Amino acid sequence: MQWLCEICGYLHDDEDCPGSCPVCGAPSNKFSEFFEGDDTISGKVGDDIDDFDKDLFADYEDEGI
C-alpha cells in the first residue's frame, strides 16, 4: 500500500500511514491512500504546492530580497 502526502507529494510505501511526513512534517491526516495510475489526488497536491510557492515568494518580497 502507498500513502501520498497531500502537502509535498512524498510517497510512503508501507501498510500503515505514517504518523507524520518525514519531508515536510505534515500530520497523518494529510495523507491519502495512493493507487498506481490514479491521478485524482494530483490536483490536490498541485494546488497546495502552488499556494505554498506564492506564500513563500510573498515573504521574500516583504523582506526586499
Q: What is the domain-level CATH number for residue 10?
A: 2.20.28.10
Averaged pLDDT, 2-31: 94
- Domains identified in the chain, total number: 1
- Give the whole-angstrom CA distance, residue 1 versus residue 21: 16
Range of the domain at 6: 2-63
Predicted structure pTM score:
0.57
Residue 60 in this model has a pLDDT that exceeds 70: no
Sequence-ordered alpha helix ranges (H) in 1-65: 42-63
Identify the residue whose cell numbers are 512534517: 25
Q: Residue 36: pLDDT band by 50, 70, 90 thresholds? A: confident
Q: Residue 3: pLDDT band by 50, 70, 90 thresholds? A: very high
